Structure 1
Amino acid sequence: MTTVLPSGACNAHCHVFGPRERFPYAANASFVPAVDAPREALYALNDRLGLHRCVVVQSACHGFDNTVTQDALAGRPGAYRGIALLPTDVPESELKRLDAAGFRGVRFNYMRHLGRPTPIDEVLRLARRFAPLGWHLQLHGDPGMLTELAQAIASAPVPVVIDHIGRIDASRGLDQPDFSVLRRLLDHDHVWVKVSGIDRISAEGPPYADALPFARALVAEQGDRVLWGNDWPHPNHRGPVPDEDLLVALIYEIAPTEAARQRLLVDNPHQLYRFGDEA
């Protein structure tokens, strides 16, 4: 049975890998995918699932060369947006070029397997530089990151998007301290969260019953600052690769009302990523 999504629904978190003959992986990549995941495969999946808009997040396997992501945006102009990986000393001219190409933010990884993290003071200096573009920070890290960087996140000069429900451990329950830290951060109006990655935080596996209450609580509490994505093609995933149709079907569990799904999939991405602002 096909899950019906609202018109203009957005997959706000996914990646493209290669093809490596055209877009080589970085020489110092923290990981190299076993198989490529080119833009054509992403387009076909999103089209089949009814996800007409998309945010492609540059992957660490391609490093600071954002060409592969830019190519994915160019194939679906106006409907696809990008999140870059950049050094903090990136020239102004490159920021403006990427903005014109459809990029809307920069991601920084604070996961141990993705290499040494960038000092947060350098990240905030860069954020002040790209604030005039209307860009945001996207932070990906384990629960300790939320506690360690909470003050910096709260004082950031741009919106901050926290990936994958903060990578909390669903087996520890809704009352765990890590989830409380995330909730307190979301009391700040500039902090957003992606209710993607339920498959990553689950200790039980599909259909991720232990993880759904976390995503559902965030949608209920912060409905104007939540985003959803399927995280295709699920890099560095432990356990079975998630079923894409199941992840989409579970949106009805995460956002049980039509109004909640409209905000999660359409209104919120439209606001943050500025779809169609080229017109």
Structure 2
Amino acid sequence: MTLNLPSAACNAHCHVFGPRSRFPYAAGATFVPKEDAPKEALYALNDSLDLTRCVVVQSSCHGFDNSATEDALASRPGAYRGIALLPTDVPDAELQRLHAAGFRGVRFNFMGHLGRHAPIEDVLALAARFAPLGWHLQIHGDPSLLTDLAPALRRCPTPVVIDHIGRIDAALGLDQPDFKALLKLMADQRFWVKVSGMDRITRLGPPYADAQAFARTLVSEFADRVLWGNDWPHPNHAGPMPDEQQLLDLVAEIAPSQAAREALLVHNPERLYQFGDTP
């Protein structure tokens, strides 16, 4: 199937690393890249793929210092948005400053390899403070999180975005409990999901036929609350590095109609990340 990429398409999940000479990696970071992945490389990739909008997600290698991400947004104001990593006691003034810089949400990692987790009640208290900004909570976690934290997440006063198809195991099939838990969450209108990370949940490798079924199901059933990103430069990736053009071309497989692709790549990110608003 050929991808007819709509205008104003968005890469809604990627990262920048360094350069370490200007943006040093955090002391004690649980993940430190072998190579820098600066904003210039991200711009070049997105431009080559005709992805004119982008959401840069702060990486754990930089900890709570969001400077590298902020710098990437500053060079492309309005077209690039950011998701921050923040301590739960961050001052309100810093939230306001980050909003003016183009940030639109906060990510919390609940993956075992990414270190200590913030208590969920503290996370929800922070969400209540950034709710007036129109921000959302982004959650990256082990599949068990979809069950374990579901009752708490349903109390979140903001939209909640689940990363990478909930990090389920594609080998276990569509009827697995973890995917059913994700579908149950998605039945609540406050939840969104990123159909990024097919290359992470696959057990077959490219073109990720086992993972495509999960993404296709989510796009079909929750067309107005799905997002896509390529996850460049693929931190902590266990398998062979994905081909960026192939990842984008697979959008045609998981979102077969032009209307579905426009929702996935244009309308949904525009709404969630406030593209078109100032700044």
- What RMSD in Å do the two structures reach over aligned CA positions? 1.1
Amino acid at match of 1:269: P
Q: Give the TM-score normalised by structure 1.
A: 0.99
**Structure 1 residues 109-153: Cα deviation after superposition (integer angstroms, max 9, x where no partner):** 000000011110000000001100000000000101111100111
SS in 2 for 1:18: coil
Structure-2 separation of matches of 1:253 and 1:69: 31
Quick one: which amino acid aligns to residue 9 of structure 1?
Answer: A
Task: Output the CA distance in 2 between the equivalents of 1:135 and 1:7.
Answer: 25
Alignment correspondent of 1:30? 30
Kindly report structure 1 stretches of 4+ aligned residues shifted beyond 2 Å: 1-4
Structure 1 gaps, min length 5: none
Mapping for residues 125-164 of structure 1, pairs under 5 Å: 125-164=125-164
Which one-letter code corresponds to 1:278 in the other structure?
T
Aligned residues with identical type, % of pairs: 72
Aligned residues: 279
**SS state of the match for residue 224, structure 1?**
helix
* SS class of match (1:161): strand
Equivalents in 2 of 1:160, 1:173: separation in Å?
24
Three-state SS of the structure 1 residue aligned to 2:24 is coil
Matched residue, 1:218? 218
Distance (Å, rounded) in 1 between the aligned partners of 2:26 and 2:5: 36
2:240 is aligned to: 240
Match of 1:263 in 2: 263
In structure 1, the residue matched to 2:52 is 52
Partner of 1:210, secondary structure, is helix
Q: Which residue of 2 aligns with 1:95?
A: 95
Separation of aligned partners in 2, 1:73 and 1:3: 27
- How much does 1:276 deviate? 1.6
Q: Distance in 2 between matches of 1:256 and 1:4?
A: 10
Per the normalisation by structure 2, the TM-score is 0.99
Partner Cα distance (2:68, 2:47) in 1 = 20
Q: Name the SS for the 1:204 alignment partner.
A: coil
In structure 2, C-alpha distance between the alignment counterparts of 1:115 and 1:41, rounded to whole Å: 28
Tell me whether 1:67 sits opposite 2:62 in the alignment.
Answer: no
Cα deviation for residue 268 of structure 1 reads 0.1
Contact 2:3 2:251 in 1 (8 A): no
Matched, 1:167 2:167: yes
Aligned to 2:227: 227
Please give the alpha-carbon distance, in whole angstroms, between the structure 2 residues aligned to 1:254 and 1:2: 12
Q: Distance in 2 between matches of 1:26 and 1:192?
A: 30
- The 5-angstrom pairing of residues 171-190 of structure 1 reads 171-190=171-190
SS in structure 1 at match of 2:32: coil
Separation in structure 1 between the aligned mates of residue 210 and residue 251 of structure 2, nearest angstrom:
15
Separation in 1, partners of 2:165, 2:122: 24
Give unpaired runs (5+ residues) of structure 2.
Answer: none
- Cα distance, 1:36 vs. partner? 0.3
Q: Distance in 2 between matches of 1:273 and 1:104?
A: 6
Separation (CA, whole Å) in 1 of partners of 2:45 and 2:248: 12
Contact 2:2–2:252 (8 Å) recurs in 1: no
Give the drift of 1:3.
Answer: 4.6
Which amino acid in 1 is paired with 2:98?
A: L
Q: Which secondary structure does the structure 1 equivalent of 2:23 belong to?
A: coil
Code of the residue aligned with 2:250 in structure 1: it is L
- Alignment correspondent of 2:104: 104
Contact map agreement 1:4 1:50 (CA 8 A) in 2: no
